[in-house]
Chain A
Amino acid sequence: MSGGAQYVVAAYAVIWFLLLAYVVVLGSRTARVGRRLEAITRVLDRREGRDGESGPPEDAA
């Protein structure tokens, strides 16, 4: 590359790499929260299903 093209390539490579890395970090955080939300939803659904079968829980005291 001549005429300074390598500097232009370097500048834009830095821009896209850092922006993409930031988006990946944000995306992975959102995906992790989504997975945990789904897991909690499943637990709550299972619990509600069990409560529905056995009726309201009795007071242990």
Chain B
Amino acid sequence: MTPSLTTDGPVRLRGERAAIIWGTIATVLVVVSTIGVFLVAPEDADQGIIQRIFYFHVAIAIASLVAYGVACVAGILYLRTRDRRWDDACEASIRIGLLFSVLVVITGSIWAKASWGTWWVWTDPRLVTYLIVVLIYVAYFVLRSSAEDDRKMRYSAIYAIAGFASVPLSFYSVRVAESFVHPVVFTGGGANMPTSMLTWFIMAQAAMVALFIALLEVDLLGRRSERALHMLTIRLERG
């Protein structure tokens, strides 16, 4: 991919339009859902204002798992096609997924302190298994830095696919565990919350998924630009 090089207009890159569109959608959804969560959604009778952490905490957690799922699919596609763009998508998804995971752990700890009086509960399966998922994906970058070129991309893709096996472990841990303190809001029977709360949770969820797509588009755009720039620099040096 090479950018159009001319001084007649700005340099345009493939994917720029998609990044702008998704960035706009994400911004609008984040603003609307923030207003809804704080000004429209009713206050929880049991937890009070602390429950408002729930909307974005859970939405970001689900978005992080979506990011790891996208990385898994990108890993599979890389192994099938050996197209470097899928490796880019895989790494970018895991990077954004880890950012979301850090947010989940921090906001979860703040919520735990407010609700349970402690920052972390080591006996709770949801907290511990989610931390394991985070550490598995941190190790992805350790693995990536230990190999080069084709081997790096191949090993990374395989690891991203294998690492995704830890996601259902975290998701179902709280449902199969006998004792836990972490609440289960979504069960087989539906959501344990009134429609007035569920509406704003769905809005926050849409905002976080849109934000993930927007960040992914911008990240991939940056990678493509850097690669195109590198090729141009080489051509320029060769004269």
Complex A-B: 17 CB contacts under 8 Å: A4-B48, A4-B50, A7-B50, A8-B49, A11-B53, A12-B56, A15-B60, A19-B211, A23-B215, A23-B218, A26-B215, A26-B218, A26-B222, A30-B218, A37-B229, A41-B6, A45-B6
What is the CB-to-nearest-CB distance from A39 to chain B, in angstroms, rounded to a whole number?
Answer: 10
Which of B113, B215, B225, B236 interacts with A7 by CB under 8 Å?
B113
What is the CB-to-nearest-CB distance from B39 to chain A, in angstroms, rounded to a whole number?
Answer: 13
Task: Please tell me if the beta carbons of B5 and A41 are within 8 angstroms of each other in the complex.
Answer: yes
Of A30, A34, A36, most B-chain CB atoms within 10 Å: A30
- Tell me whether A37 and B232 are in contact in the complex, defined as CB-CB below 8 angstroms, given that A7-B110, A14-B106 are known contacts: yes
User: What residues of B have a CB within 8 angstroms of the CB of A36 in the complex?
Assistant: 229
User: What residues of B have a CB within 8 angstroms of the CB of A61 in the complex?
Assistant: none
Number of A-B contacts (CB under 8 A): 87
User: In the complex, what distance in Å separates the CA atom of A19 from the CA atom of B114?
Assistant: 23
Q: What 0/1 readout, one digit per residue, does chain A (45-58) give for beta carbons within 8 Å of chain B?
A: 10000000000000
Total A residues in contact with B, Cβ cutoff 8 Å: 29
Q: Hey, which bits of chain A sit against chain B, CB under 8 A?
A: 3-5, 7-8, 10-12, 14-15, 18-19, 22-23, 26-27, 29-30, 33-34, 36-38, 40-45
Instruction: Answer yes or no: B126 CB below 8 A from chain A CBs.
Output: no
Instruction: Answer yes or no: B197 CB below 8 A from chain A CBs.
Output: no
User: In the complex, what distance in Å separates the CA atom of A37 from the CA atom of B5?
Assistant: 8
Task: Please tell me if the beta carbons of B218 and A18 are within 8 angstroms of each other in the complex.
Answer: no
Q: What 0/1 readout, one digit per residue, does chain B (127-166) give for beta carbons within 8 Å of chain A?
A: 0000000000000000000000000000000000000000
Name the residue on A nearest B23 (C-beta): A23
Q: What 0/1 readout, one digit per residue, does chain B (25-69) give for beta carbons within 8 Å of chain A?
A: 000000000000000000000011110110011001000000000
Task: Please tell me if the beta carbons of A11 and B107 are within 8 angstroms of each other in the complex.
Answer: yes
What is the CB-to-nearest-CB distance from B103 to chain A, in angstroms, rounded to a whole number?
Answer: 6
Of A26, A30, A33, A34, most B-chain CB atoms within 10 Å: A33
Instruction: Answer yes or no: B118 CB below 8 A from chain A CBs.
Output: no
Instruction: Answer yes or no: B177 CB below 8 A from chain A CBs.
Output: no
Task: Please tell me if the beta carbons of A22 and B229 are within 8 angstroms of each other in the complex.
Answer: no
What is the CB-to-nearest-CB distance from B104 to chain A, in angstroms, rounded to a whole number?
Answer: 10
Task: Please tell me if the beta carbons of A8 and B52 are within 8 angstroms of each other in the complex.
Answer: yes
Name the residue on B nearest A26 (C-beta): B218
Instruction: Answer yes or no: B233 CB below 8 A from chain A CBs.
Output: yes
Task: Please tell me if the beta carbons of A29 and B103 are within 8 angstroms of each other in the complex.
Answer: no
User: What residues of A have a CB within 8 angstroms of the CB of B107 in the complex?
Assistant: 11, 14-15
User: In the complex, what distance in Å separates the CA atom of A22 from the CA atom of B113?
Assistant: 26
User: What residues of A have a CB within 8 angstroms of the CB of B225 in the complex?
Assistant: 30, 33-34, 37
User: What residues of A have a CB within 8 angstroms of the CB of B169 in the complex?
Assistant: none
